[in-house]
Amino acid sequence: MQYFPYALAGRGIFSVLAAWSLYGARGEVRTQLANANKTKGWDNAELNHQVDLVLRASLLNAGFLVILLALIAKFVWDGKMWARWIYLAVIVLLARDEYALTAFFGYHHLLPRVLTGLTGVFGLASLVLLFLPASNAFFRPVGAAARPGGLFGALVQSRVNPGVPMPTGKTPPEQVSLRKPEQRADRAATARPASRGPRGKSRQAPKRPGQR
């Protein structure tokens, strides 16, 4: 898990750079877009407009995914089990980083090819780091058996143990005093009430000689 933030940061940086590098490969993007939409009969002006839309959408999509993955990663780092599965869904279904690996063989321009391929490498690397056995220990809740809600409570709560309340019917453990023995004896002597005489008799001052 200690390398997960670096893989996530690398994925975000390379994805933004890959989207920016497409502006340098505008001609290739234009050719691919024209071949994919031959039946629409676009003229040059419309085709150039569509190319501009594709380039801007790629850059905005890269920035949006960087922000979204950073928000999910915050909950991942807090130890939320459900955040790990959401991260998996976003990487595979929304970002489709597994297809980004094919960019190493897809673009003719070197820069988009390398940057897009590295985006897929770092994205899948961050995903693998989340599901290693060591990462499973990171996400395992502390004291999950004592949490309210059972297994579901362990999945939605953080891995930090908030403290288990003491069961009812049990007395708290005896507090250990840190005072010295002589200090405890002096304190007990001052707290002990004054001794009284025999019940029914009151104490009287001693009589002086000559008094009856």
Q: Tens of pLDDT along 123-136?
A: 999 999 999 988 88
Q: Tens of pLDDT along 168-210?
A: 554 555 554 555 555 555 565 555 555 555 555 555 555 555 5
- In a 13 Å sphere around the CA of 64, the CA atoms on its Cβ side amount to 9
Computed over every residue of the chain, the mean pLDDT equals 78
Q: Are 81 and 72 in contact (CB under 8 A)?
A: no
Residue 85 has pLDDT above 50, yes or no: yes
DSSP 122-190: HHHHHHHHHTSHHHHHHHSPTTGGGSTTHHHHHHHS-SS---PPPPTT-PPPPPPP-S-HHHHHHHHHH
First to last CA, the chain: 97
Backbone angles phi, psi at 197, to 5 degrees: -75, -175
Measured in whole angstroms, the distance separating CA 169 from the mean position of its chain's CA atoms is 37
Q: Tens of pLDDT along 86-141?
A: 999 999 999 999 999 888 888 788 999 999 999 999 999 999 999 998 888 888 76
Q: At 58, which helix (H) or strand (E)?
A: helix 44-77
**What is the token pair recorded at 35?**
């071949």
Q: Are 81 and 16 in contact (CB under 8 A)?
A: no
